Amino acid sequence: MPPPPGDKSGKSGGQKKRLAGDSLGPTTGKRPKPNGKNMGSSNQPGQSNQGKDGRQSSNKSRHGGKDAPSNNGPEARRMKNRAARSIPSQRSDSALKDGELDLQSFVNSRGFEVKALDESMRRTRATRSSRAFQQVPYTLRRRAAAHNHKRVPKRLQKRAKKEMAADNTPTVNAKTRKPSSTRDRLRSETVLRLGKLAERRRKQKLLKRGNLDKVTIETRMARPKIRRNTLNDPLVTIKKFKKRQLNKTWLPTHLWHAKRARLTEPNKPLWRFAIPITPTQKVYRPAHRIQWEKGVMAWDTSYMSTIGLCGTPRSVEHVLKGLCLTQAVLWNDKGAKWRSGAVCWSGTLRRKVGAYLRIIAPASIIWNPESVKRTNDSSEPPKQLRRRLFIRIHPSSFLEAFEELNRLVKGQNPRPYIEDLRYEIGSIEVTGPNSTEALLGLLKPYYSKTESKEPHVAKFQSLAGLQDPASLPLGSLLAFSIMDPRLRYPPRRTELPDMTNQEAQLGLLETLSKWHQTEDPVPFALFDRDARFKASQLPTQQSLNRRRGKNAPGVFLEPSETDTAIPIILTASRQSPNAGTWTLMMPWKCILPLWHSLMHFPLSTGGNPGLGGLNEKRQLAFEQGIPWFPGDFPGTDAGMAWELEQRHERKKAWDRMPKGKRIAYEALDLGAGRKGEVGDGWDCGFETLFELPESGTDASQPDEESNVEIEGTEPAKENKSTKLMKHALTHVIHLTKSAFNAYVDPKSDPFPLGAIVTVKIRTLSRGTPAPCARIYRLPTIAHVPVSTQAEVPATEPTHVRDNSKLPSDLRDQWLAKIPGKTNGAKAKPPLKHNSAVDLDVETRKRLLAQELIGPPPSQPNEGNVNGHPFCPDAEDLIGFVTTGSFNLRNGCGEGIGSISAEMAREELGRYKNKDDPAARVCVVRNAGQAVGWVARWDLV
């Protein structure tokens, strides 16, 4: 092969001219000293000579123009690492001679490169080019480890800390970092608990060696904060489920109920709680039998709100009078037992709105007995004397009552204070003939070696054999301390006296007759914050199991020093003469242990107590004939919110139905030419009844002025029933039976606009009222058609309605529907001129004239609806049914409703004789139906 042009020496151009940085000399395998000028290019990508020169020039300018950087510093270490990683190489042109491959030169040049690679690897290991975080096995490497030297093994932590300090890497401090997710929060809380446990174990080891005393290792958990005159934070009993309780609070027995009952939807809590609606089993008929025959039914009513009021006796009295507790029997000598804490008061709280009183909610008030008995010689109570009381109210009206109390408290001097005890005190309600038996078997008194026996313990134990709590005097109350029910688990059947024995019956009657003839009560422990906190520190179930394993099988545990007393308050309420309910109040965290024992208690009649939900409470209240709050109180803020929510739910259910199956309210034929439902078929239209002015704001929009933010609840997700709506229903005022009786006299002041009163509806024959049913009074004005052909029109009397298409004898038709009626005349067919009755000629002429000039005779089925009389007109509408169904106790259709107070007074004034068959008779028609049913209403 000829030599390349321009090469006269015959040698390859690679031997005469070498590239910059390639000064390896002849191919002898000798390597020159490495320096920045004659180093070859590295075989790593991205590291060219041009890039190195650029970095060196920038380094010179940074160090003031010096030729080489200082031996100390990150830049010097980088240059050293670069030099160690550089691998010199030789051009392949040196292996060519006259265009031919020189095998010996080619082998020598490749051998040189292999030696250079081996030398580079050796120098790289010696210079520690990898960081400490890269020394961790790849299975343990994490991206976040480069920001915390504690995430690497201990042998590398020092080195990693130096490298982070040299590179100014920011260090994350786990103690000051706020958890960003639920997992991080749970992890930090677990670390904190484990740290405290490890510290306690370390101190216990030192205690055994004798280096510490026992006082040093005693720890006390922080008590929950109870703010004054301010709402408290919701309680989260299980930290793991805190994220599920952002907009609601779980009851103490939530996990137990979640497996056995249907609860409220997670995103739609009721009154800011997750409340059981009904058990998964069918319990409608069993609930009826438990109430009136045998058995026990229990509810976890810890959602009922408790407000604490504390202050001087005079200030507390003024605050209660501001809630309209102005009855003389409460503040004279007859009310001394209530103010001393011996009995419980149950009634209705009201607040003044303008010139009228508006009901807040039914409530119960319990006073704490005085710790120091005052003498009659002292004219004034001591200044340091302060009285405490509990106000137990429904959660739907808690915010309204709390705001009103806060307003009343600020106007007193010396100023009392209120406390939000919703999450401090829980409650359980028990009803049924065997309810007293179950409580006697579960509530075992706590006996202390230092303290004497509490006075209410003997009274409670003397109730063995009592069938119905309604037999106790009104407002009966018991307060004492019990032991942990888990110490006597499983519970055993209570030994009851033979009530067929006359002596046992006389003993029980004597106990009931002398119920209030006892000494003054001592202060209740449930009012003491420290006693409630100590009772909440129950031992774990594992520790009780270990103690139980040391005893013989079937032997109950005895209370030890670690088992604290649980303070309780037990009250008996009576809604109807034959149905009573026990209400057990105790610390919130003590509800679950007692609930487990209650559900497994063996009754003498067989079986165990049953579980009840919100629907069962409404059912039993309906069977007792009493209104249920807030559903049957549409004239209150809570009842209005409930009604608006129910309207929304019924409207949604109506919209979901196909058009062919849902009721067309606008096309409903009521007879006599009347088309369409009176108002909307899915609501109780009291605003239509009273023609109340509509507000400019939609009912679904909350009132900003009355909006109260709940801790732990986002305002956007808060239930509508917790806010006062700007709606026409705000003008509806609910009157109690006693307040209505003050207006019975026709000469008394007129009722306020929108005044309603609660009544009980009972059908007299067939028919079952349903919610939203319309209530009509009997027609009071005759319906006489006016002839337009009369030559001289007569003056129309005031009791006649013009051009009415309803029958003139409609009232008599409805009175004829009353069963067993003796003095009411049935509707007779009208006389005609050709009747078989003996009539004179003048009478026959008059009847013939009436037939000729009168309206045409009605066709068949025009005067009624399938044999049923027409319902009265909209002018006779007096109210609506809020709760209605078939009553299993009375065996007929019944309902609870609200009617206009003005029309109710007119009805009572029209019939002076109470035995009149037509007194309080009404017509009930379900929404969407044209047929009505005769019924009678009574005030509740």
Tally Cβ neighbours within 10 Å of residue 653.
11
Task: Judge whether 660 lies within some domain.
Answer: yes
Asked whether residue 749 falls in the same domain as residue 888, the answer is: yes
Report d(CA 63, CA 44) in Å as an integer.
28
**Strand extents, DSSP E, 543-578:** 566-576
Which position has the token pair 């904060």? 225
pLDDT per residue as tens digits for the range 884-911: 999 999 999 999 999 999 999 988 888 8
Measured CA distances, 353 to 640, 701, 731, 733 (Å): 16, 22, 11, 10
Predicted pLDDT of residue 3: 47
Task: Judge whether 400 lies within some domain.
Answer: yes
Predicted pLDDT of residue 384: 61
Predicted pLDDT of residue 853: 77
Of the candidates 407, 328, 425, the residue with the CA atom closest to the CA atom of residue 360? 407
Encoded tokens for 734: 């609910």
Report d(CA 813, CA 597) in Å as an integer.
59
- Running along the chain, 940 residues long, what does each successive block of 10 average in pLDDT? 44 38 39 40 40 41 44 69 74 74 82 85 69 76 70 86 82 70 83 88 83 64 85 81 88 95 95 96 94 94 97 94 93 92 94 90 95 53 77 96 95 93 96 94 83 81 89 92 94 86 87 80 92 92 92 89 92 85 96 96 93 96 94 94 94 94 92 89 92 58 38 39 63 91 78 92 94 92 47 43 72 88 52 69 82 62 74 93 94 95 90 82 94 94
Asked whether residue 658 falls in the same domain as residue 607, the answer is: no
Decide: helix, strand or coil at residue 387: strand
Task: Judge whether 74 lies within some domain.
Answer: no
DSSP state of 662: S
Sheet strands side by side (includes 305-311): 345-353, 356-367, 387-393, 305-311, 417-420
Containing H/E element for 27? none
Report d(CA 564, CA 451) in Å as an integer.
13
Predicted pLDDT of residue 143: 64
- 784 with 652: CB under 8 angstroms? no
DSSP calls for 904-921: HHHHHHH---TT-TTTTE
**What angle (nearest 5°) sits at the alpha carbon of residue 353, between those of residues 347 and 354?**
140
Predicted pLDDT of residue 871: 93
Of the candidates 425, 716, 728, 467, the residue with the CA atom closest to the CA atom of residue 572? 467
Task: Judge whether 757 lies within some domain.
Answer: yes
Of the candidates 296, 300, 298, 252, the residue with the CA atom closest to the CA atom of residue 276? 300
Predicted pLDDT of residue 837: 65
Asked whether residue 309 falls in the same domain as residue 297, the answer is: no
Tally of domains within the chain: 4
Task: Judge whether 817 lies within some domain.
Answer: no
Of the candidates 594, 488, 481, 479, the residue with the CA atom closest to the CA atom of residue 535? 481
Full-model pTM: 0.73
Encoded tokens for 435: 């309810």
Decide: helix, strand or coil at residue 887: strand
Of the candidates 424, 378, 31, the residue with the CA atom closest to the CA atom of residue 237? 424
815, 817, 818, 823: CA torsion to nearest 10: 50
Asked whether residue 583 falls in the same domain as residue 643, the answer is: no
Report d(CA 47, CA 54) in Å as an integer.
11
Which position has the token pair 């006796």? 313
Predicted pLDDT of residue 22: 39
Report d(CA 740, CA 902) in Å as an integer.
10
User: For the chain, what's the residue count?
Assistant: 940
Task: Judge whether 861 lies within some domain.
Answer: no
Residues in Cβ contact with 721 at an 8 Å cutoff, skipping those fewer than 6 apart: 270, 271, 396, 638, 641, 642, 644, 645
- 909 with 745: CB under 8 angstroms? no
Phi (first) and psi of residue 878, to 5 degrees? -120, -15
Report d(CA 70, CA 848) in Å as an integer.
136
Asked whether residue 391 falls in the same domain as residue 470, the answer is: no
Asked whether residue 643 falls in the same domain as residue 769, the answer is: yes
103, 107, 109, 113: CA torsion to nearest 10: 160
Measured in whole angstroms, how far is the alpha carbon of residue 72 from the centre of its chain? 67
- Kindly tell me the sign of the dihedral angle through the C-alpha atoms of 13, 17, 23, 26: positive
Residue at 88: amino acid letter: P
**If DSSP states are collapsed to H, E and C, what string results for 302-341?**
CCCEEEEEEECHHHHHHHHHHCCCCCHHHHCHHHHHHHHC
User: Which CATH number goes with the domain that contains 878?
Assistant: 2.40.30.110
DSSP state of 241: G
Predicted pLDDT of residue 56: 40
**What percent of the chain has pLDDT above 70?**
77
Report d(CA 52, CA 790) in Å as an integer.
123
Task: Judge whether 807 lies within some domain.
Answer: no
Burial (CB count <10 Å: 0-12, 13-18, 19+), residue 246: exposed
Distance spanning both ends of the chain, measured CA to CA = 126
Predicted pLDDT of residue 801: 53
Decide: helix, strand or coil at residue 263: strand
Q: List the domain range (segments joined by +) for residue 656.
A: 637-690+728-780+867-939
Asked whether residue 288 falls in the same domain as residue 310, the answer is: no
Asked whether residue 451 falls in the same domain as residue 565, the answer is: yes
User: Which CATH number goes with the domain that contains 348?
Assistant: 3.30.70.1400
Encoded tokens for 86: 């550089």
- Kindly tell me the sign of the dihedral angle through the C-alpha atoms of 288, 291, 293, 296: positive
- 488 with 444: CB under 8 angstroms? yes
Of the candidates 486, 479, 489, the residue with the CA atom closest to the CA atom of residue 586? 479
Predicted pLDDT of residue 893: 95
Report d(CA 646, CA 375) in Å as an integer.
55
Report d(CA 540, CA 51) in Å as an integer.
69
Task: Judge whether 763 lies within some domain.
Answer: yes
Residue at 554: amino acid letter: G
Containing H/E element for 328? helix 328-331
Provide the pairing of β-strand 356-367 with 387-393.
Answer: antiparallel
User: Which residues share a beta bridge with 583?
Assistant: 429, 571
Asked whether residue 610 falls in the same domain as residue 507, the answer is: yes
Asked whether residue 272 falls in the same domain as residue 412, the answer is: no
Predicted pLDDT of residue 171: 73
Backbone φ/ψ region at 866: left (φ over 0), alpha (ψ -120 to 50), beta: left
Backbone φ/ψ region at 622: left (φ over 0), alpha (ψ -120 to 50), beta: alpha
Measured CA distances, 267 to 273, 280, 422, 627, 724 (Å): 11, 20, 21, 28, 20
Predicted pLDDT of residue 823: 45
- Kindly tell me the sign of the dihedral angle through the C-alpha atoms of 113, 118, 124, 126: negative
Asked whether residue 504 falls in the same domain as residue 562, the answer is: yes
Report d(CA 94, CA 12) in Å as an integer.
7
Asked whether residue 580 falls in the same domain as residue 665, the answer is: no
Decide: helix, strand or coil at residue 124: helix
Encoded tokens for 780: 């009071």
